[in-house]
């Protein structure tokens, strides 16, 4: 049997995972999200139409694919319902095609409000302002409203009232802002859940059945390794575990951990929000990458910080995720550069350093400069058709990380993919 596949971002998110999941979805019958929430923004093209999916797995446009949202995902009913509406307006019926774990913790509008108030107050980390952090905090603090709580109206009322009073106290005393009416929060929650309830059910057993029938599963990671709450650039991280190893917990299907792991990396590096970024460029080259790569957030529209590819960070990601192969995206964005730099290590105060160092914010990159290819990669259909300099770039990545590059994206369209 073909192995299941976990697809993860190896940088600070926005590696172009949507297109790659879309490509692999054609080969799997089930696609499952296992962490994060609607802070993700996976862009895919359906014919000429562009879709940005935030919660629903990117395989949704294939007739043969069933999509799952595991309990590791923090679920906003607002975001879910608007995504469902958008997809159904294109004539795709999601009933029987989308299943969400009833163990998911729900993200409520009050979480987004708290996230925004905190970001505007002090020590902003540049979150997506969607409430992801507070919702994950609630889960760990055991006060989350879980989807299954909607099945017990009395318990639900108590939990919602407790939660709202917990946050209202902060909203009033710390932020001096408008509080929430618990009765309204409860009413809205029940109304929204009524619309979405048919999509909730058991995910673990269904994944087990699909796998048991001999069909491998595609697991769609969100954000990126360097944003992992444990192994990323803490505290400038998201609030979930983004590593491939979190798939067992997040999907609820333990055999998911015996999958191949494909790491997606851009041919350069970007980051949104605050936090250390050793290869960040503040010169024209950075602006050029941003312009050609259209580096603006799919979820928030924020401009992304841009820099050269950081192989030291990529090696760290490769190890942590136990990558079996790599996909390099947006190689074509570098078409116009005479010289391309690649970071192969760091120095702090003249001493060699590594990504794991707590002094990442002081790390100066050590670069290797290679010749650019200076032509369009658009027409290359296989690895051999790439210019010698582009091949050398890919081979340098493989040599440094010891991970084979199995896929190269050389343009925004579905067909702009080189398989190796």
Closest approach, Cβ 127 to ligand IMP, in A, equals 3
Q: Are 204 and 253 in contact (CB under 8 A)?
A: yes
DSSP 57-92: -GGGGSTT-EEEE-TTSEEEHHHHHHHHHHHHTTT-
Nearest residue to 106 via CA among 167, 160, 54, 153? 160
Give the whole-angstrom CA distance, residue 343 versus residue 11. Answer: 14
Is residue 273 near ligand IMP by the rule CB under 6 A? Answer: yes
∠ CA 220-53-100, nearest 5°, is 60
35 near ligand IMP, judged by CB under 6 A: no
- Residue 39 found at the interface with ligand IMP (CB under 6 A): yes
Please give the backbone phi and psi of residue 126, each rounded to the nearest 5 degrees, phi first.
75, 45
64 is catalytic: no
Say whether residue 293 binds ligand IMP (CB under 6 A). no
Please say which residue, 102 or 130, places its beta carbon nearer to ligand IMP: 130
CB of 135 or CB of 217, closer to ligand IMP: 135
Q: How far is the CB of 299 from ligand IMP (least distance, A)?
A: 6
β-partners of residue 76 are 107
Among 19, 38, 111, 130, interactor with ligand IMP by CB under 6 A: 130
* Residue facing ligand IMP at closest CB distance: 273
Q: Is the dihedral of CA 242, 244, 245, 251 positive or negative?
A: positive
| CB 279, min distance to ligand IMP, A | 16
Instruction: Answer whether 315's CB lies under 8 Å from 397's CB.
Output: no
Q: Is 25 in the site for ligand IMP (CB under 6 A)?
A: no
What is the rounded CA–CA span in Å between residue 227 and residue 230? 9
Closest CB to ligand IMP among residues 140, 165: 140
Q: Which of residues 165-224 bind ligand IMP (CB under 6 A)?
A: 222-223
CA distance 194 to 74: 18
For position 272 contacting ligand IMP by CB under 6 A, the verdict is yes
Query: Which one, 135 or 386, has the nearer CB to ligand IMP?
Result: 135
**Longest Cα separation, the chain:** 67
Question: Which one, 59 or 224, has the nearer CB to ligand IMP?
Answer: 224
Catalytic site includes residue 42? yes
Strand partners, 238: none
Task: Yes or no: say if 239 and 24 are a contact pair by the CB < 8 Å rule.
Answer: no
Taking the complex as a whole, how short is the minimal distance between the CB of residue 297 and ligand IMP, in angstroms?
7
239 binds ligand IMP, rule: CB under 6 A: yes
Is 201 or 276 the residue whose CB approaches ligand IMP more closely? 276
Q: By CB under 6 A, tell whether 55 contacts ligand IMP.
A: no
22, 38, 42, 228: which one is catalytic? 42
Instruction: Give 52's contacts (C-beta < 8 A, 6+ positions apart).
Output: 18, 41, 42, 43, 298, 299
Least Å distance, CB 128 to ligand IMP, is: 3
Instruction: Name the site residues for ligand IMP (rule: CB under 6 A).
Output: 12-14, 39-41, 125-128, 130, 132-133, 222-223, 227, 236, 238-239, 272-273
Q: Which residues are catalytic?
A: 14, 42
């Amino acid at each position: 049997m073909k192995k299941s596949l976990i697809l993860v971002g190896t940088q600070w998110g926005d590696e172009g995972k949507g297109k790659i999941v879309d490509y692999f979805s054609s080969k799997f019958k089930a696609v499952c999200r296992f962490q994060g929430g609607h802070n993700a923004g996976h862009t895919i093209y359906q014919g000429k139409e562009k879709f940005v999916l935030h919660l629903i797995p990117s395989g949704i446009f294939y007739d043969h694919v069933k999509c799952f949202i595991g309990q590791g995902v923090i679920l906003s009913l607002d975001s879910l319902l608007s995504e469902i509406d958008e997809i159904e307006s294109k004539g795709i019926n999601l009933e029987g095609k989308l299943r969400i774990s009833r163990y998911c913790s729900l993200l409520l509008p009050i979480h987004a409000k708290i996230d925004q108030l905190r970001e505007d107050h002090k020590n902003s980390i540049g979150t997506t302002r969607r409430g992801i952090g507070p919702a994950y905090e609630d889960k760990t603090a055991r006060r989350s409203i879980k989807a299954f709580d909607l099945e017990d109206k009395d318990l639900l009322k108590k939990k919602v009232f407790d939660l709202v009073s917990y946050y209202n106290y902060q909203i009033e005393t710390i932020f001096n802002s408008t509080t929430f009416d618990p009765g309204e929060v409860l009413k809205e929650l029940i109304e929204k859940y009524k619309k979405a309830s048919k999509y909730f059910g058991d995910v673990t057993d269904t994944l087990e059945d699909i796998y048991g029938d001999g069909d491998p599963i595609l697991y769609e990671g969100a954000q990126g390794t360097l944003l992992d709450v444990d192994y990323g650039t803490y505290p400038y991280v998201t609030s979930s575990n983004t590593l491939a190893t979190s798939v067992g917990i997040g999907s609820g299907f333990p055999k998911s951990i015996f999958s191949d792991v494909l790491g997606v990396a851009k041919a350069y590096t970007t980051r949104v929000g605050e936090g250390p970024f050793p290869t960040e460029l503040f010169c024209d080259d950075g602006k050029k990458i941003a312009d050609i790569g259209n580096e603006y957030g799919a979820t928030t529209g924020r401009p992304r910080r841009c820099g050269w590819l950081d192989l030291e960070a990529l090696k760290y990601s490769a190890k942590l995720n136990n990558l079996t192969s790599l996909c390099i995206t947006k190689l074509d964005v570098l078409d116009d550069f005479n010289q391309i730099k690649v970071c192969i290590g760091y120095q702090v105060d003249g001493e060699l350093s590594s990504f794991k160092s707590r002094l990442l914010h002081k790390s100066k990159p050590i670069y290797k400069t290679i010749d650019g290819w200076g032509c369009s990669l658009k027409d290359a259909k296989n690895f051999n058709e790439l210019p010698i300099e582009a091949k050398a770039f890919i081979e340098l990545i493989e040599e440094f990380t010891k991970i084979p590059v199995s896929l190269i994206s050389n343009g925004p369209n579905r067909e702009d993919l080189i398989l190796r």
